[in-house]
Amino acid sequence: MNGAHRVLIAADKFKGSLTAVQVAERVTAGLRRVLPDLEVEAMPVADGGDGTVDAAVAAGFERREVRVAGPLGHEVTAAFALRGDTAVVEMAEASGLQRLPAGVFAPLTASTYGSGELLRAALDAGARTIVFGVGGSATTDGGAGMLTALGARFLDADGEPVTPGGGGLGDLATADLSGLDPRLSAIDLVLASDVDNPLTGPKGAPAVYGPQKGASPDDVETLDAALAHFAKILEESAGSKAAEHAAAPGAGAAGGIGYGALLLGARFRPGIEVMLDVLGFAPALDRTDLVITGEGSLDEQTLHGKAPAGVAAAARAAGKEVVAVCGRLALAPEALGRAGIRRAYPLTEIEPDVAKCIADAGPILERSAERIARDFLS
């Protein structure tokens, strides 16, 4: 495409090296080195996982900080984003793996209590629509901690609260949702996730994602049984809906916090679709000639609900050309083409040493952007 005069950069983070905001800055710098007067609009994107609040703030939302419980119960400062009466809440801010000390995992005891506190803070701030981005969790507690923070009670046979984390749910005897914050019934709660797993079973949260959180095979078995028991007890107190939610797409997201959100009346939507709506992607598309998307690794997973696939699908529907930047590329040109991406520019094409790519991602990405400017805009 020659003579394009406006570019939209809608890329996700390069995990471990650049935030989505930094990716946009570096790509802009590289493009303008070739075309100094090029009009560039940056719209950092995220798919509901970590970086979702930052993307909303970059799009003009106000950043709000609050002290909440981290996954192990220690206090952390977590942020949500607010614009008007719409809030973007990211569970990883309170209950994410990044909130654990380096090298420490707590698959049986990590709790989502802080995520519930974040939702409550959004309600206190006047939110009527809450986009609840889930992903990157340290937890596998089915959202029990979150529900507790919002007023639910989960008791053992002695009438005592069960211990925090998924492991403690094996001792659950009664569940009482009657004390849930009444404001929850009057809002639009959107569960934004890039995974559609059910709560339990071979494709459930413990089996598929437990090992990433340090769960041994025995832990996975324990957690799967505990979450199945949790859903059964909830069915006794909350009715058949509890069983339907456990089998529903998205229930297994972020260690089963999706299940907790569905119990609160959330509707499940692919994270990137929700975020593109919230960020105002459609009007930005109208103003652009070329879209540049990307993430750290463009691979098979990208095609299943990750940010670049969502961006490319929306851009293709609007008749806009899309190219991608990435750290590494593990997709054939045909697969990229089917996803709506005309061409990808991996950093490893310029610097084959992956360690150097990670360490020097910014300058190398600028060089990739120079190539895009020459190939597509000159």
327-344 pLDDT per residue, tens: 999 999 999 999 999 999
Indicate whether 344 and 301 sit together in one domain. Answer: yes
- Please report whether residue 130 resides in a domain: yes
Indicate whether 229 and 319 sit together in one domain. Answer: no
Indicate whether 291 and 173 sit together in one domain. Answer: no
CATH of residue 353: 3.40.50.10350
- Please report whether residue 1 resides in a domain: no
Contact assessment for residue 191 and residue 261, using Cβ atoms and an 8 Å cutoff: yes
3-state secondary structure of 370: helix
Indicate whether 113 and 178 sit together in one domain. Answer: yes
Q: How far apart are CA 91 and CA 68, in angstroms?
A: 11
Sign of the alpha-carbon dihedral angle for 292, 294, 300, 305: negative
User: Maximum Cα–Cα distance for the chain, whole Å?
Assistant: 73
Indicate whether 82 and 228 sit together in one domain. Answer: yes
Mind listing the pLDDT tens digit of every residue in the chain (378 residues)? 455 589 999 999 999 899 999 999 999 999 999 999 999 999 999 999 889 999 999 999 999 999 999 999 999 999 999 999 999 999 999 999 999 999 999 999 999 999 999 999 999 999 999 999 999 999 999 999 999 999 999 999 999 999 999 999 999 999 999 999 999 999 999 999 989 999 999 999 999 999 999 999 999 999 999 999 999 999 998 899 999 999 999 999 999 999 999 999 999 999 999 999 999 999 999 999 999 999 999 999 899 889 999 999 999 999 999 999 999 999 999 999 999 999 999 999 999 999 999 999 999 999 999 999 999 998
Number of neighbouring beta carbons within 10 Å of residue 355: 8
User: In this predicted structure, what is the pLDDT of residue 305?
Assistant: 84
63 has which bridge partners? 81
Q: How far apart are CA 134 and CA 50, in angstroms?
A: 8
- Please report whether residue 20 resides in a domain: yes
Region at 60 (left for phi over 0; alpha for psi -120 to 50; beta for the rest) = left
**Which of 221, 237, 272 is the last residue in one of the domains?**
272
**Which of 253, 272, 291 is the last residue in one of the domains?**
272
- Please report whether residue 158 resides in a domain: yes
User: In this predicted structure, what is the pLDDT of residue 4?
Assistant: 55
Sign of the alpha-carbon dihedral angle for 103, 57, 133, 324: negative
- Please report whether residue 196 resides in a domain: yes
User: In this predicted structure, what is the pLDDT of residue 36?
Assistant: 96
Model pTM? Answer: 0.93
Indicate whether 107 and 247 sit together in one domain. Answer: yes
CA angle 106, 221, 132 (to 5 degrees): 55
- Please report whether residue 369 resides in a domain: yes
Indicate whether 265 and 284 sit together in one domain. Answer: no
Q: Taking Cα atoms as reference points, which of 353, 333, 334, 356 lies closest to residue 345?
A: 333
Contact assessment for residue 111 and residue 69, using Cβ atoms and an 8 Å cutoff: yes
Indicate whether 58 and 28 sit together in one domain. Answer: no
Indicate whether 170 and 58 sit together in one domain. Answer: yes
CA atoms within 13 A on the CB side of 164: 21
Q: How far apart are CA 144 and CA 148, in angstroms?
A: 6
Tell me which H or E stretch contains 192. Answer: strand 188-193
Residue with tokens 């100094």: 36
- Please report whether residue 245 resides in a domain: yes
Q: Domain limits at 61?
A: 52-272
The set of long-range contacts for 72-80, using a CB threshold of 8 Å and a minimum separation of 24, is 72/100, 72/106, 72/109, 72/110, 72/111, 73/111, 73/113, 73/164, 76/114, 78/114, 78/118, 79/53, 80/53, 80/118, 80/121, 80/122, 80/125
125-144 pLDDT per residue, tens: 999 999 999 999 999 999 99
Number of neighbouring beta carbons within 10 Å of residue 240: 8
Q: Classify strands 6-9 and 174-176 as parallel, antiparallel or unpaired.
A: unpaired
Query: Running DSSP on this structure, what letter comes out for residue 350?
Result: T
CATH of residue 253: 3.90.1510.10
Angle, helix 307-317 to helix 271-279, in steps of 10 degrees: 60
Indicate whether 246 and 107 sit together in one domain. Answer: yes
Indicate whether 244 and 102 sit together in one domain. Answer: yes
Indicate whether 310 and 333 sit together in one domain. Answer: yes
Sheet bearing 321-329, strands edge to edge: 39-42, 6-9, 290-298, 321-329, 343-346
Tell me which H or E stretch contains 205. Answer: helix 205-209
3-state secondary structure of 337: helix
**Which of 252, 272, 292 is the last residue in one of the domains?**
272
Question: What is the secondary structure of 222-287 as a DSSP string?
Answer: HHHHHHHHHHHHHHHHH-THHHHHHHSTTTTHHHHHHHHHHHTT-EEEEHHHHHHHHHTHHHHHHT
How many domains does one find in the chain? 2
Q: How far apart are CA 188 and CA 79, in angstroms?
A: 20
How many residues are listed for the chain in this entry? 378
- Please report whether residue 234 resides in a domain: yes
Spatial CB neighbours of 328, under 8 Å, sequence gap ≥ 6: 296, 297, 298, 299, 346, 347, 348, 354, 357
Q: Taking Cα atoms as reference points, which of 31, 15, 18, 119 lies closest to residue 323?
A: 31
